[in-house]
Amino acid sequence: GSSAPAPAETQPEPETKTEEAAPTEEAAPAEEAAPTEEAMPTEEAAPTEEAAAEPDAAASGFTLNERIAEKVANGEPLMLRVSYHDVSNEFAPFIKKGVEQAAGDFDVDVEMVGPVSPDADAQIAELENLVEAGVDGLAISSVSSDALAPIIDRLLAEGIPVVTYNTDNPESNRLAFAGQDLEQSGYEAAKVLADLMNGEGDVIITTLDAAAQWSIDRETGARRGFDEYPDINVLQTVNTGTEPQEIYGSIENAMLANPTVSGILSLECCSVSPAGEYVKRNGLTGDVTVVGFDELPQTLQLIDEGVIAASLSQAPERQSYEAVRLLLDALNGQPVSDVDTGIAIIDQSNLSDYMQGN
């Protein structure tokens, strides 16, 4: 399980992506990130009179099931759930924070749910059981894209609104997606690293799970990015596994096997700080440039120490927050469309904005 996120086709052009880009309003981190003015259509959000008046105006082909429509019409409290594919990973607390933020802002019964390991079968079982428990709307992030497409379509057929976030299921009929363009983010990250390396040198790519779809997407983007620099050589993609010691050991071994490496690109949250630790402990700071993803505390600390050069944030709180907002919109019959949560680059220049959140 890992941080993960979204496919190309929906939002080919994320708004914030140059390396200078300070976190813009939408892509802003941590607590400030989600509840920005634009992101919070407070007035429309709560099930209001008007909303009940036009319950059929939802996305094309989807009709609310009667039970839910009645609840909406009567202004009864709704039960929404945000299903995350592995509630025990590093990313889950961010997702949860966004959900809790939304619960407060919109005053709805919404919680994060999901299996305690990346297990699609368990996630499906839980979704089915939630239907029995009377859920009124679901936001779903799946372990790999389209893993849950059939069940999403089944839920929609039963009249339960479903949106996706973080990792999309584009082949399903989900009403909308809130998240990041994964391939684009990989591309951006590669360019950040390549520029920091002055366009030359040997690079290794590290990932928790080289075979996961999000990893493949980011790696594709990254390799496309590196291709633009003829003097950058990608030596190897190191599959580190997910256990922290294992991650460090893999990086250690890979560095020893490739003594010429001068850049490490980590494709996710969790192999970036071990890469940083390795560089720091072996006196390679300055010689080996590390770029990775996300804003885990240790990553930020290492940016502060100048060991990690930059990290790309995908504003995870915002993904779940937006997902809840989309659900409420759909329930109230408003048209919904995809939300790109963007990419923000964290480096020493803007670190303080992120640090205070933790």
306 binds other proteins (CB under 8 A): no
116 binds other proteins (CB under 8 A): yes
Q: What are phi and psi of 335, to 5 degrees?
A: -70, 145
| Site track 142-171 with other proteins (rule: CB under 8 A), x = hit | -xx-xxxxxx-------------------x
114 binds other proteins (CB under 8 A): yes
**Contact status, residue 177 vs residue 165, Cβ threshold 8 Å:** yes
Q: Shortest gap between Cβ of 238 and other proteins (angstroms)?
A: 8
174 binds other proteins (CB under 8 A): no
Q: Shortest gap between Cβ of 244 and other proteins (angstroms)?
A: 5
Residues 263-302 that bind other proteins (CB under 8 A): 270, 273-274, 277, 281, 296-298, 300-301
The kind and range of the H/E element at 70 are helix 66-73
Residue 313 β-bridge partners:
344
Single out the segment in contact with other proteins by CB under 8 A; choices: 46-54, 198-206, 211-219, 346-354.
211-219
In the complex with other proteins, the residue whose CB is nearer, 176 or 208, is 208
Residue 202 β-bridge partners:
233, 261
Give the DSSP letter of residue 76. P
Residues 5-64 that bind other proteins (CB under 8 A): none
Give the DSSP letter of residue 109. E
71 binds other proteins (CB under 8 A): no
Single out the segment in contact with other proteins by CB under 8 A; choices: 40-48, 55-63, 83-91, 172-180.
83-91
Helices and strands (H, E) in the chain, number of each type: 14, 12
Count of residues near other proteins by CB under 8 A: 73
- Token look-up 């995908």 returns 314
What are the contacts of 43-50 at 24+ separation with CB within 8 A?
44/328, 44/329, 44/332, 44/334, 45/105, 45/106, 45/325, 45/328, 45/329, 46/106, 46/107, 46/328, 47/72, 47/75, 47/78, 47/328, 47/331, 47/332, 48/332
In the complex with other proteins, the residue whose CB is nearer, 45 or 324, is 324
In the complex with other proteins, the residue whose CB is nearer, 105 or 217, is 217
Amino acid at 130: L
Among 204, 216, 309, 326, binds other proteins (CB under 8 A): 216
Among 173, 220, 236, 285, binds other proteins (CB under 8 A): 236
Residues 238-257 that bind other proteins (CB under 8 A): 238-239, 242-245, 247-250, 252-254, 256-257
In the complex with other proteins, the residue whose CB is nearer, 43 or 132, is 132
In the complex with other proteins, the residue whose CB is nearer, 16 or 145, is 145
222 binds other proteins (CB under 8 A): no
Q: Are strands 177-179 and 162-165 parallel, antiparallel or unpaired?
A: parallel
Residue 80 β-bridge partners:
110, 137
In the complex with other proteins, the residue whose CB is nearer, 128 or 231, is 128
In the complex with other proteins, the residue whose CB is nearer, 14 or 316, is 316
Instruction: Give the three-state DSSP class for 176.
Output: coil
212 binds other proteins (CB under 8 A): yes
| Site track 327-346 with other proteins (rule: CB under 8 A), x = hit | --------------------
Nearest in space to 160 (alpha carbons), one of 138, 129, 139: 138
Among 9, 31, 54, 128, binds other proteins (CB under 8 A): 128
What are the contacts of 222-227 at 24+ separation with CB within 8 A?
222/186, 222/187, 222/189, 222/190, 222/265, 222/267, 223/190, 224/183, 224/186, 224/187, 224/190, 225/186, 225/187, 225/188, 225/189, 225/190, 225/191, 225/194, 226/190, 226/194
